[in-house]
DNA sequence: CCGGGTAGTTCGCGGCACGAATTTGTTACG
DNA sequence: CGTAACAAATTCGTGCCGCGAACTACCCGG
């Protein structure tokens, strides 16, 4: 296991370093749309559906109080809004505004484009293999849906 | 391309979502050692060798001014130190302290362990394939060495 | 020796994340 | 009922992060 011949890279380092890369792409893409990474992440999550605050905390892995601030700032930017929960007057549904939905679409598409570019040198088969393996990592470890499939959009 | 049969996941979403996962692991691991993700990253980079500030900015993808603060805080924690650069009295070499080196080793090992766990259900061959593909992503896109190979440690 | 470039720091700002305490509303149960 | 336990969010205070602009100290070529 992990016999490292010169020039090869182990699975762990490959995961960590590619994470660093994708993260940078995400940040840069967000920056280009005038939002932060966190706000971009929030928009991408909300593309699927509105969520309550507590629920969002679970998906994004944040404390409740962190979320209040994030939603505050994103709301101030006019991208999301708090709607009253019909069934529970304590609760709130966070949803994209029209502007937020538009920006989410653009940001999402641009981010997809850039991430796809990271595998520009891959054959279709290689890309599929990578997708299948990483897909298992994701499902085995129950990663919440912080990023939709392209065909789930709209 | 990217015909999505039910249950399958595309390469882009797989990359983004696994990034989210690895990132969370990294943050949690750092937290356990009483440091932030950024300080952990700094320690891991410095495990290889000391760096100048500007150089570090390149590796970590941060502005000079961001680095001053990060090194300040990490230095205050006794984990790194600024040493004068012998050849240039403006410059500085940031290096691990003894305590920093010890903590870096532990943090690095624990992070490796946790990241490895993410592929717990994989066969050795699958893990190798994943490593090879992600390794290409990393080298094709010139990711700096923000995380060593296990066999490069020490 | 002087002028242009470089290494780092300082400063001010806003975003981010957290825990503890608080407010308001829900729900269960006696 | 009514009250006690619980749940959804917010508030508050703190510290970390990241940035750009301005600045200091130093290097180096002419």
pLDDT in tens, B53-95: 999 999 999 999 999 999 999 999 999 999 999 999 999 999 9
List pLDDT tens digits, range A3-23.
Answer: 555 668 899 999 999 999 999
Interface test with B, best of A14, A113, A147 (most B CBs within 10 A): A14
| CB < 7 A to strand D: residues 32-61, chain B | 36-39, 61
Task: State the ipTM, two decimals.
Answer: 0.94
Asked if the Cβ of residue B72 lies within 7 A of any atom of strand D, the reply is: no
Residue contact B61–A151, C-beta within 8 A:
no
Q: What are phi and psi of B35, to 5 degrees?
A: -125, 170
DSSP A102: H
Q: Is the CB of B83 under 7 A from strand C?
A: no
Distance B16 CA to C3 C1' (A): 49
Pick the CATH number of A11-152 from 1.10.10.1800, 3.40.1160.10, 1.10.10.10, 1.20.1440.230: 1.10.10.10
Pairing of strands A80-85, A88-96: antiparallel
Rounded to 10 deg, the angle between the A11-32 and B98-117 helix axes is: 90
Q: Quick one: fold of B35-152?
A: Arc Repressor Mutant, subunit A (1.10.10)
């Amino acid at each position: 296991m992990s016999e490292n011949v010169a020039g090869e890279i182990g699975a762990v380092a490959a995961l960590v370093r590619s994470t660093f890369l994708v993260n940078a792409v995400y940040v840069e893409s967000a920056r280009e749309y005038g939002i932060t990474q966190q706000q971009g992440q929030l928009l991408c999550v909300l593309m699927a559906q509105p969520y309550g605050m507590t629920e969002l905390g679970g998906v994004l892995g944040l404390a409740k109080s962190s979320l209040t601030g994030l939603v505050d700032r994103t709301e101030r930017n006019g991208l999301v809004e708090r709607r009253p929960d019909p069934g529970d007057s304590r609760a709130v549904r966070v949803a994209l505004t029209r502007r937020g939905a538009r920006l989410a679409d653009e940001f999402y598409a641009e981010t997809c484009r850039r991430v796809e570019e990271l595998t520009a040198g891959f054959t279709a088969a290689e890309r599929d293999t990578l997708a299948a393996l990483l897909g298992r990592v994701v499902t085995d470890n129950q990663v919440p849906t912080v990023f939709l499939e392209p065909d789930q959009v709209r």
